[in-house]
Structure formats: C-alpha cells, structure tokens
Structure 1
Amino acid sequence: MVVQKLNRRWAQVKVPGCGWVRFRLSAKGKGARLPAAKTFRVSYRNGQWHAAFAVVPEPIPAPGTGGVVGIDRGVRITAALSDGRKLNCPQLTVKERAQIRKHQRRAAHAPKGSSRKAAAYAKVAGLKAREVNRRKDWCEKTSTLLARTYDVIRFEKLNIKNMTRSAKGTVEQPGRNVRQKAGLNRGTLAQGWGLLRRRTEQKAPGRVEDVPAPFTSLRCSACGWIEKKSRKSQADFVCVFCGFTCNADENASINVAAGQGGIPRPRQTAGAGGVTAASSRSSAREPQPIRVEIPLF
C-alpha cells in the first residue's frame, strides 16, 4: 500500500486498477499513524466515499496517580462519573428530528419504486448517519479522556443485549407496552454504552473492571443501607436510614467506584461511626437469612 500525505488536510492513496485517489484526512488519520497502516478499504455509504485504514493504536499509559473512577450509565445521563462529572452523548437536534419525520412522510406518500421515495429515504439515512458519526466521535474522545485521567476504570456491568430485547412477544403470548419498550430501546442504543466500554478497554487494557449492577442504584454510598424507597426519582436519592442526599446517578457511580455491587456490605451507624451488625430494621431489597432447624436424635 502506497500513501502520500499532500498537506495537513489531504493525502492520496494508490488504489489498484484506479490509480491515485485523493482523500481528506479525518481527525483520527492525522499525524504519524497514517503511514503505519497495512491495509485499507474504500466504501460508498449514504452518498459519500470513505477510505478506512486498518491501524492498531498503541495502548494509552496510565497516569500513575492512583485514581479510580466509577461510571454509571443511563439514558438521561449517558455516563455519570464518581468525581461528579456528567457526560452526555450528543443526539440529533430538534430541527434534525423534524426533518427526519418530514422526509419519512414524503417517502410514505411517494409512489412505490419512484425516485422521490428513494430520494426521501436517502435524506433520512444521511441524517441518521450523522447521529452515528457523532456518537462514535463522542465515544472515542470520552474513552481517551478516561484512559488518560484514571488508573482504574470501573463500569457498571450491564447486559445490553437483554436490556434492549423486543417486547412484542409471540402470537400465542403477545407482549405488553410494545411501543413504549421500543422507544426505550432506541434511547438506550443511542447512548453508545457498549462502544464506550469496548473502546475504553482497548485503550486501557487491564485497567477496566466490571462491577455487578444489583444494588448499586439502591445502596447509600454514605452508610451502605439498601432500600428501594431511597430512590425518590430518576435524579434524586435520599437515604431513609441516615438522610444522606445526593444525585441518584452520582450515588450509583460512587458505589461502582468502590466496587460495591451485587452483595450487600455491613451497614454503618449514623451516630458515632464504625461498622456494626445489621440493624433489626429490614429493607425491601435486603436478602434475609433462612433459619433451618435440624432435629437431634
């Protein structure tokens, strides 16, 4: 493969059977990494030609500060960090969503197989491709930020495939709230949870950990009490045991950073401090021990 860089923005590659083809360098293709590419692929998508070069990036070294961060992923807030930062994946604007609906209506009213229907669908595909490009760009920048800032990065372990499964059911057992579940699935997939986790692992190998998701959003990060009623709303968390108040996503991210998930830990008293035995006050989500009596002969 022969690649020549013409200037800061443009380069050219020699394609077999076509000769020299000029292409515009993207942000990821600038610098000294372009000559290190071994193979490339030319594709045509949504009215644009793309030249993709296969480059294996080098891992980002740890900063060495000993910093540990927990990341709670959600739909309202894409990534809530345990240090208080809240990062949101960019979405389509209100105007762009209105344009998508407009072109979809035009495509629905156009005759089948007509050029008007194809043109309307092409415009819809171009707008959706713009959203995908924004999501990929955000995941690349955010994963680089995490790899350069923290030594250990802990994600809440989520089974995204099962979470976004369709609720339509079967003919014998049809599902309920199918349209609402479909909208939730679209909102979940638009956040790029899986891509962010995968790119962070590739840039910081060996420094990414998964924390079990159960109890992370219901546990108080101050005293450890687990109670469903503490989660007042999507954004508010007020512990019913010690009165600790915090943003619900930030509280969950602190639990993820501490590795507190799946198994309840001993609670702390709200007074003098220190770890005590579990209180007689039961929780709705707290596993209770089972008493077994064995007769003696």
Structure 2
Amino acid sequence: YVTQARELTILRREVDFVRAVSQTSQQYALKALDAAYRRFFKGLGGYPQPKKKGVNDAFTFNGREITVERLNNRWGRVRLPKIGWVKFRMTRNLSGKITEATVSLTPLGWQISIGCKDCDVQDFATDGAVGIDRGVTVPLMLSDGSSYTLPGNIDALDKKARKAQRVASRRKRGSRRHAKAQRRVAAIRAKQARARKHWSHVSTTDICRKFGSVVIERLRTRDMTKSASGTMENPGKNVAQKRGLNRAILNVGWRQIETMLFYKAHQVVKVDPRFTSQKCSCCGAVDSRSRENQSRFVCTACGFRANADHNAAVNILHRGSTPIVEPQVTAALKRELSGKPEIP
C-alpha cells in the first residue's frame, strides 16, 4: 500500500481525471486491495479479481471530510468531497463521532452508509438464557413462548419478483427490453432483501436486549438447501417440493440471523439439532409420532400437549444449559472391569 500510495501522488499530478476524484477514496481502494492480497496469501480468501463497471460499485470517504445535516423528519443532506451536497433519506439521528461514509450502488439506486463510534446505544443483556427454534412457518420461536414472524410485504415482494422474472424470460436476450426487465427483477429482489435484513436486525436486537445467552441449533443451511436429484425412474420426483422448501428457508435468512446473534448476544451456544422436534420437553421421550403436524405436539408417553415449535425451543434451551458430565472411573472400578484382583 505504501508504494502504491506514493505512485498515486505522482499520478494525481500528471493525470487530470485521476486528480478529479477524492484522494481518500482512492487510498481506501488501495488499502482494500492490499488487504485482499494479504488474505489471499494467508489462505483466507480467493485471488483478488479486477473490478468491473456496474458490479459492486462503491467508494469510501473519511469521516472528518463529510458533513451531515438534517433537513426535516424524513430527509437529510451530506456534503461529500469533490461532489458537494447530496440529499438522502435519513432514517435515524447520528450519534457519536463519524469515522467513515461509504457510497454504494444497488439495484435500488445509490445509498450511503455512515459509520460512527462512541454511539449512545442501549446495552444488551448479560444474564438470562433462551432457546430459539428456527423454522419456516414460524421463523423464530423462543422458549419463553414468544415468536417472531416475517412481515407480510416480504412474501408479497417474492410473488412480485417471480412474476417479473416470468416477464423477463419472454424477452429476447440481449435486447433493451430484456435488460430493462432484468433490472426490474433485481430492484424487487433488492427491496425484499432490505426488508428481510431490517426485520432480522429488529428481531435479534429485541432478543439480545432481553436475554444474555442464546441457544440455537447447529444447522448447515448450505447443505439443507441443496437441490433434490430425484430418481432414475422419475428425475423430477420431489424436486419441485424441495425447491419450494429451499426457497422458504432462504426467504427467512437463517444464516443472517445467526450471524447477527453472534455479534449482538453476550453468549451464543450451538447444540446438536437431532430429535429436538421429536423429544418431549416434559418427560424426555423421543417419538416421531408425537409431532402430529407442523404446529401440534402430543407426547405418546405422557400425553403432554404443546405447540411443536415451542416444545422444540424448550428442548434446545435444555440441551444448551445442561452440562455434559464425564463419568469418573476410580482405580477400584478399573480393576473390577479388567478382572484383576484387588491390591491389598
């Protein structure tokens, strides 16, 4: 980075279009390139790829170079070097010291993300524990009986995106109308992803402010969402059904929720997910027949009745809060098991 930063200084004196861009944004790009090569040589990532126009377009400014002002309840404006004042949708008041601002291009247009430090935020809880069962119909069910469901606009946007995708598939590839239809699909998907991410942030923040320890299942989302292959006699058997399940799992965003819990919660415990939905939280009996359907659980051993997701969440909490006790084998027990006589 140091060598290229010196070359950048010389280049800015000689080339006009390089000098027309903010120097700190160019320095941030060189730092990102240096970090990418370091990660590659350490085996933590792939070989850095050249950037292409229109793909992940973004640039960063230093916090001391920007100024933010609020215009009204909905809008604000930010002063960017070499650009000037830009109006933006201000979703919240800024607190603390501004460290950097990143402007990026999304299918919904340009957006700005402002990073701050020493912010005034509510502290998260450090005590209390809760088990969370992640599902499709009920995305998050807690062991205390509360649940979190996706907002209705996410499913509506999913139907709208699939309809727009069918329209795009009827356009001639390479034409302007095909490109316009593809941009419309990308915009709807981006809006859906933004709504899902906002819901995930609100839900995980609410959970972590109530409970310090969170117990979740060790789920491999990548393996669970692999496409079904069917059979040789019927290649399409169960493929459509599995495709619908995969879409539902990805629509909830299990992995995204887990990532947010790891950096928000005081402690996160991952447990074995086997038989959590078939085990009775009252007597401990395991029977697949106890789960009558998606929402009902009736134990075949003791007759305990509960919501199936709530029962699974309680089992997850018990599995995460119960310590594993290793049996201590004494010397006398070892001799007894081996058949050797006891030493006087």
Alignment of 1:239-258 (within 5 A): 239-258=299-318
Structure showing the higher helix proportion among its residues: 2
Mark the CA change 1:23 to 1:95 in structure 2 (over 3 Å): closer, same or farther: closer
Of 220, 228, 233, which residue of structure 1 is paired with 2:280?
Answer: 220
Bigger RCO of structures 1 and 2 (CA < 8 A, at least 6 apart)? 1
For the Cα contact (< 8 Å) 1:104–1:124, is it kept in 2?
Answer: yes
1:88 and 2:149 aligned: yes
Separation of aligned partners in 1, 2:159 and 2:215:
38
Look up the match of 1:49.
110
Farther off after superposition, 195-204 or 175-184? 175-184
The amino acid of 1:14's aligned partner reads R
Equivalent residues in 2 for 1:1-297, closer than 5 Å: 1-7=65-71, 8-27=73-92, 30-33=93-96, 36-55=97-116, 61-63=123-125, 66-90=127-151, 92=153, 96-168=157-229, 177-204=238-265, 206-259=266-319
Q: Structure 2 length normalisation: TM-score?
A: 0.66
Change (3 A) 1:9 1:96: closer
How far residue 143 of structure 1 moved from its aligned partner, in angstroms, is 0.9
Unaligned runs of 5+ in 1: 266-293
2:69, 2:132 → 1: CA distance? 39
Pair member with larger Rg? 2
Task: Report % sequence identity.
Answer: 34
Large movers: runs of 4+ above 4 Å: 55-60, 91-98, 260-265
Gaps of 5+ in 2: 1-64, 326-337
Distance 1:130 1:9 in 2: 19
Does the 8 A contact of 1:216 with 1:260 survive in 2?
Answer: no
Q: How many residues align?
A: 260
Change (3 A) 1:256 1:184: same
Deviation at 1:263, TM superposition (A): 11
Q: For residues 85 and 260 of structure 1, do their structure 2 counterparts lie closer, same or farther at Cα, with a shift above 3 Å needed?
A: same
SS in 2 for 1:52: strand
Normalising by structure 1, report the TM-score: 0.76
- Across the aligned residues of Structure 1 and Structure 2, the Cα RMSD in angstroms comes to 3.2
